[in-house]
Amino acid sequence: MKATRGAAAALAIVLLIGGTLLARRDRSVERERETETSAVGAASESAAEVAPADAPASSSTAGEARPDPCPAGRTLNMEVIDTIEREGRVALDPALARSLLLASQDPEHLAVAALVGRDPADRVADIVRAMAAGRQNPAVVWTAVQICDGAGANATCPAKDWEAALLELDGQNSEVWIHVAEARWQRGDIAAALEATQRAAAAAETRTYWADTVEMIERALASTGGYSFPTRAVAAFSFAAANLPLGSVRINMCKTQSKESPVWAEACLGYGRLAERRTGNDDGAVIGQTIQIVALEASGQNASDVIERRDRARRERNDIANHAGEVFVTTPVQFSEFLTTLREKGERAAQSLLLEKASIYKACAGEK
């Protein structure tokens, strides 16, 4: 994970989510080329001693003693934070985690083994095992499609078969259809790619599987019995972010095809508007805005309104990142609360939830 600002602490959720996603946006959206994002973060057993803050301390009235912003159990161990900040790596050996997970027959555990793996051939082998028993689990099938896509043209996985399985399970999802569109486009089937893009633009639902993947990773690591909750939470966000689909292919597809056909431009604009409005996360919104921009410009139309919205949203994201403070995930309740808000209300609402808790940690860290 390469954050867009210096990390105050590698356990900060804002950096784990916002930093990783913004780095991916910068590479895949603005430069329109694929890159690999390394899954890095940090966690410590002793970080579990830091208790979460449910709400900022209330302000005191005149003449009253000001409440202690750092009651017992909330004081930050800055030595631990300094160590995390300095080392900046996941306190989890991916090879060991994979070996523990491969001892299971649970398809989710096998899918997570594939997600934490580093060798492309191992990742494909692991997800093939997961699919043997998990073809009815949407999160497993989504993971299989992403891993197969990322393995390259010479991968031995059955890409078309897995895409068909995902469509059967989640065929009303715009994100499934746009992935199918870009896969067909890369295979040279332009007519089928256009049909899939039109289906994406008209889809009744939108799910990105971001929260689902984070939860699946945390559950699978918990099943091994070898990791503290903070370690599992950090690893879950890190590996899930590293395996997000990049937007470069769909952006390039729409840029190229919109120059050739107004029908393509209309389909791409439709999907871009839907993605901006409904994905519920900044990553999807930025990709949707960028698709609108390239489709409009390729067809000779004015994209200034969309460009202004994208630039304004970027400034807002940077402001959130620069003022979030240290917001730690140290309990399952806080973890669940964040993901529930993310799923039900979107990324901005989840970020606001974190900001509500940030001030008490700044106070405990001695910041003004």
> What is the per-residue pLDDT across 226-267, written as a single tens digit (0 to 9) for each?
888 888 888 898 899 888 888 899 999 999 999 999 999 999
Lowest average pLDDT, out of 67-76, 265-274, 290-299, goes to 67-76
pTM of the full structure: 0.74
Q: Give a yes or no: residue 1 inside a domain.
A: no
Both tokens assigned to 368: 């003004």
pLDDT digits (tens, 9 = 90+) for 65-116: 555 545 444 444 454 444 444 444 446 899 999 999 999 999 999 999 999 9
The residue ranking higher by pLDDT, 295 or 3, is 295
Lowest average pLDDT, out of 86-100, 176-190, 317-331, 346-360, goes to 317-331
Helices and strands of the chain, counted as H and E runs: 18, 0
Q: Give a yes or no: residue 3 inside a domain.
A: no
Q: Give a yes or no: residue 202 inside a domain.
A: yes
Q: Give a yes or no: residue 33 inside a domain.
A: yes
For 215, the domain range is 13-60+68-364
Both tokens assigned to 81: 């934070």
Give me the mean pLDDT over the 47-64 stretch. 37
The residue ranking higher by pLDDT, 153 or 55, is 153
Instruction: State the Rg of the chain over Cα.
Output: 21
Count the domains in the chain. Answer: 1
Give me the mean pLDDT over the 111-126 stretch. 95
Please, are residues 287 and 247 in contact by the beta-carbon 8 Å criterion? yes
Q: Give a yes or no: residue 7 inside a domain.
A: no
Give me the mean pLDDT over the 4-25 stretch. 36
Distance from C-alpha of 7 to C-alpha of 325, rounded to nearest angstrom = 10
pLDDT digits (tens, 9 = 90+) for 27-40: 444 444 333 333 33
Give me the mean pLDDT over the 110-127 stretch. 95
pLDDT digits (tens, 9 = 90+) for 212-221: 999 999 999 9
Lowest average pLDDT, out of 158-167, 203-212, 338-347, goes to 338-347
328 phi and psi angles, rounded to 5 deg: -100, 145
Q: Which residue has the tokens 């043209």?
A: 153
The whole-number pLDDT of residue 147 equals: 94
Query: For residue 12, what is the DSSP state?
Result: B
Q: Give a yes or no: residue 106 inside a domain.
A: yes
Q: Give a yes or no: residue 4 inside a domain.
A: no
* 138-150 and 159-170 helices, crossing angle to 10°: 150
The whole-number pLDDT of residue 151 equals: 83
